[in-house]
Structure 1
């Protein structure tokens, strides 16, 4: 059975009555199977997982100030990934007392959850996958600095406007964190990440600080499927309700000249399927054709879920690898 959500109402549509195509039903079943395959990770509590003394992650933690280590950031990423996976399960499927699952059809909401799963899982992979300990340390410092920068930006403006009596204390606190980050950078032989500008404000310069840069790194290193970056960008478009992603008119690939590319993009990145068929968005460089499928279709959602679901066990695997102190053989 499926549930179509329209105008705030849920409409239950039995799959067997023919109103849902066989392809849609198959895609829904594939998504459910993928979620069930990850259920063992739902029982994991990253916060409770010990970072064992002598492990690679423990050695990494020792390079940073105790007030702001990378272990907490990575555990938070894993927890957020699993929380969004469980939310996706509850959003898309309603379990009946008989044990059968009903499916709900949504347009945009699932893509927001899939996007977060990709972001959080890939962040863990980016930080911990490198075999070189110095590179793991550098990437971890980038994540710590990004967290400090974002927190300072928010609390500085929020407290200044709504709680000015607490603003000076917050400024002092975040100044201290910036100095700690710079001290960690100096200990690793890296230039300062934060620096004072002429007007007294803090500057923030470091590479790989955006999610796009992180995914490009993983893509360039062949650590993840080549379509992951494009799936994440596509899910981001859906999450923000952008027309180009939802395909409801305006910027479909069918309206673009595939020979010249779009907005300076490499020719072939956006390709129309031709004729009266729905436009297809294809990933370049040998990615599987039609990874994103026809816009708005159930097969499309199933394919982006498949890519995201692949990230989860790999993130847990590398986290366990780095947090455990393995005996010498």
Structure 2
């Protein structure tokens, strides 16, 4: 998933070739996520050491959850555009948004060289996970509401095991915006992370700025001379940019995961 981008606009043939290349890479990634133990941390690796600090909230498990979710969104976009030959204006962007957010979170957790910081970020991710579960599920009375608070308390207990853990940061949790911004600044992804994510978020929320900035549009006069009816559409080149950005970030995440999950002898 290299990030080389030509300065000149791509021809239709080049766009088609890039879609085929990325589709093959995405299929291979999906096969990896479907393979048992594919992303396990090996004994003696940095991630194994991280996990030893933070049970039951293993850093490797949180990272793997993000990688699997990111790959799933990316594969769904590929299936929609390449396999089903269906090119929606907003739907691919919504899927790529899910991929970018999850891969950014994985990168954000894996990237620090400090074990204490990696564990801190994992616990921040777990804090948001626990609070969101309480907010969504507690009203349904599916389980004792106190169990959600117990999970949050357990996260804080884990944080207190090591003085290097930033407990205040753990309590704050994290945001996707912070993770995406961090990945944009540190991943080296050639097409960036923040801008494509912002575009995807705009489409996901139905904000008109995203269409006006990124989509093809045809203005159709109406009976009111001050009002136009606008038809928005997209093409394979525009969709390619978003998918390419997600695969670039994914490559950075996979390289970093390989470093953290492999023993350094």
Is TM > 0.5 for Structure 1 vs Structure 2?
yes
Out of 117, 120, 136, the residue aligned to residue 102 of structure 2 is: 120
Shift in Å at residue 229 of structure 1?
0.6
- Name the structure 2 match of 1:265: none
Q: Which structure is higher in helix share?
A: 2
Q: Secondary structure at the match of 1:53?
A: coil
- Name the structure 1 match of 2:251: 313
Deviations 1:271-299 (A, max 9, x none): xxxxxxxxxxxxxxxxxxxxxxx984432
Change (3 A) 1:224 1:25: closer
Scaled by the length of structure 1, the TM-score of the pair is: 0.63
Q: Does 1:59 find its partner at 2:58?
A: no
Deviations 1:237-265 (A, max 9, x none): 1122221112299xx9xxxxxxxxxxxxx
Larger Rg: 1
CA contact (8 A) 1:65 1:180 kept: no
- Name the structure 2 match of 1:206: 172
Shift in Å at residue 225 of structure 1?
4.5
For structure 1, which segment, 317-326 or 235-244, has the greater mean C-alpha deviation from structure 2 after superposition?
317-326
- Name the structure 1 match of 2:150: 176
Change (3 A) 1:244 1:309: same
- Name the structure 2 match of 1:27: 15
Listed as ranges, the gaps of 5+ residues in structure 2 are: 1-9, 218-231
For structure 1, which segment, 26-35 or 179-188, has the greater mean C-alpha deviation from structure 2 after superposition?
26-35
Q: Secondary structure at the match of 1:247?
A: helix
The alignment covers a number of residue pairs equal to: 237
Change (3 A) 1:25 1:244: farther
Q: Does 1:42 find its partner at 2:61?
A: no
Tell me how far apart the structure 1 counterparts of residues 204 and 125 of structure 2 sit (CA, whole Å): 23
Tell me how far apart the structure 2 counterparts of residues 133 and 78 of structure 1 sit (CA, whole Å): 20
Out of 176, 193, 196, the residue aligned to residue 228 of structure 1 is: 193
CA-atom RMSD in angstroms: 3.0
Shift in Å at residue 313 of structure 1?
2.1
Q: Does 1:86 find its partner at 2:86?
A: no
Change (3 A) 1:226 1:210: farther
Q: Does 1:241 find its partner at 2:230?
A: no
- Name the structure 1 match of 2:263: 325
